[in-house]
Amino acid sequence: MTEQLRNKLSDSKTLRWSVLALVAFTMLCGYFLTDVMSPLKPMLEKELLWDSLDYGFFTSAYGWFNVFLLMLIFGGIILDKMGVRFTGMGACILMVLGCGLKYYAISTTFPEGALIMGFKTQVFLAALGYAIFGVGVEIAGITVSKIIVKWFKGKEMALAMGLEMATARIGTTLAMVLTVPIADYFGYTDESGSFHTNIPMPILLCLIMLCIGTIAFFIYTFYDKKIDASLDA
């Protein structure tokens, strides 16, 4: 009986594919930020005086909490205990907070020689933001997988998973293609005639997109309540 009630919602092609579009867009926004710094490396070295050690420290931050604090395991436990709405919204908030800290670090000029744990303050804060974001985006990934199973069980589940991942990877493509042109477009020429790229601007775009992605997931939670209500009926 409960299976029949659940199917009343998931049998609607329009509804289940709309659900997939919402959560896939959220992941697209997350993957955009995941890869946005790669094309900016030459600019970071030229404009912000990062070196390869700084950049390597920053990129390693993605796995700090996920690996050493086992956050993906805890995220899975929370997902099983609290459900996709709580876990998904929490993951989205972590992504936004992490991106916000990263944007603050990159857009702020810190005193020369300012260090945290032996690393430049700007680099450390950007890395910390990336680490927080890494927790959010990875937990969001497993949450979205559970959502797809919830809505596509017995239907086009493999296709839905493939489309979700393909959509998410569009975020990677956008990061590779758009980041440098955006930084150049919003750059400026100083009084000496030297051109400076606007490195924070692509990250700000990521922050805006993540906020929109969070809204998209929030909209999804209403559909999730409906399908849970049908299961409880």
As a CATH number, domain 2-232 is 1.20.1250.20
Q: What global pTM score does this model have?
A: 0.91
Beta strand segments in the chain, E? 115-116, 119-120, 188-189, 195-196
**CA–CA distance from 51 to each of 3, 16, 34, 123, 217 (Å)?**
57, 47, 20, 10, 37
Q: Is residue 1 pLDDT above 50, yes or no?
A: no
Domain ranges of the chain: 2-232
Q: State the pLDDT confidence band at 229, using cuts at 50, 70 and 90.
A: confident
Q: Which pLDDT tens digit goes with each residue over 63-115? A: 999 999 899 999 999 999 999 999 999 999 999 999 999 999 999 988 888 88
